[in-house]
Amino acid sequence: MSAKVLDGKALAARSEEELRARVAKIKEQSGATPILATILVGNDPASATYVRMKGNACHRVGMDSLKVELPEETTTEELLAKIQELNANPNVHGILLQHPVPSQINERACFDAIDLEKDVDGVTCLGFGRMSMGEEAYGSATPAGIMRLLEAYDIELAGKHAVVVGRSPILGKPMALMLLNANATVTICHSRTKNLAEIVRQADIVVGAVGKPELIKGEWIKEGAVVVDAGYHPPGVGDIELSAVIGKASAYTPVPGGVGPMTINTLIFQSVAAAEKKLAGR
């Protein structure tokens, strides 16, 4: 079987062309430039790299990026004050708090302090609840990016059995609900699930979102399944043993170049949408 490659890198590049045109229209009609504020607390090298990549993506489409860098010893109260400052800034259209924050900070309280209208990374409880109910909200960037990728490649979801391996609040849980809202039948598993292999073997669609290198073995994947790997672990493997999947899956996301580019692109996509709504007075 020749598997279809769900190329997130190529889709993100096409999306950026469309976003550049939308940003140019915003500037022409309002004189304003969409701005994404990024908050980085501490000096974690990986987090700094991710924030830089997101800033670069903003600039590629003509947006501005407001970089907020806070020291490692920042308190919850100090971070909340900065978030409220950005909430009140009419020139900021989206807010990203880079995860993880230092251990002394109440990360959930800080995520939930972000205004719903500026929650372009889909991290608030309110946004999650509205998304799960089918109401308007920005979805968590990675699962929302996966949904855009599946749609772009005409992957049928309605009536299919999707197995999501992982239950994090910004990936596994929202992924399951987005698939459910798209009329898939969804099973949520995790690293402690008993008989995991047997459950995965039943799946028409498998989403690896558990954060453990190649936990999901290729022999578990049934013939013709769609395989989405949301993991990334140096030196370039995901949560699924993709090398053993390519010959029997009907479609799969490569690692790297599949889900990762769509995560950043979806953050920018949702930031542009937030700017359009704000400047249209909605």
Spatial neighbors of 210 by CB under 8 A, at least 6 apart, are 165, 166, 172, 190, 191, 216, 231, 239
Q: Starting at the edge strand that comes first in sequence, how are the strands of the sheet with 64-70 ordered?
A: 64-70, 35-41, 94-97
Res 282 pLDDT > 60: no
pLDDT at 2: 80
pLDDT at 240: 97
Res 239 pLDDT > 90: yes
Alpha helices (runs of H) in the chain, residue ranges in sequence order: 8-30, 45-60, 76-88, 107-112, 125-132, 141-152, 172-181, 196-201, 259-279
Is 137 in a helix, a strand, or coil?
coil
User: Distance between CA 207 and CA 272 in Å, rounded?
Assistant: 27
pLDDT at 55: 96
Q: What is the pTM of this model?
A: 0.95
Mean pLDDT of 247-262: 96
Res 60 pLDDT > 60: yes
pLDDT above 70: percentage of residues in the chain = 99
Mean pLDDT of 124-138: 96
Per-residue pLDDT band for 1 (boundaries 50, 70, 90) equals: low
Domain 30-116 bears CATH identifier 3.40.50.300? no
- The torsion angles phi and psi of 216, rounded to 5 degrees, stand at -90, 115
- What is the overall mean pLDDT for the chain? 96
Q: Which two tokens stand for residue 86?
A: 């950005």
User: Distance between CA 175 and CA 187 in Å, rounded?
Assistant: 11
- Residue-wise pLDDT for 151-206, tens only, equals 999 999 999 999 999 999 999 999 999 999 999 999 999 989 999 999 999 999 99
Q: Please report where in the chains the tokens 């987005």 appear, as a residue.
A: 178
CATH number of 141-260: 3.40.50.720
| Fold agreement (30-116, 141-260) | yes
Cβ(267)–Cβ(120) below 8 Å: yes
Res 281 pLDDT > 80: no
Spatial neighbors of 78 by CB under 8 A, at least 6 apart, are 70
Q: Where are the domains of the chain?
A: 30-116, 141-260
Q: Show which residues are catalytic.
A: 54, 98, 121
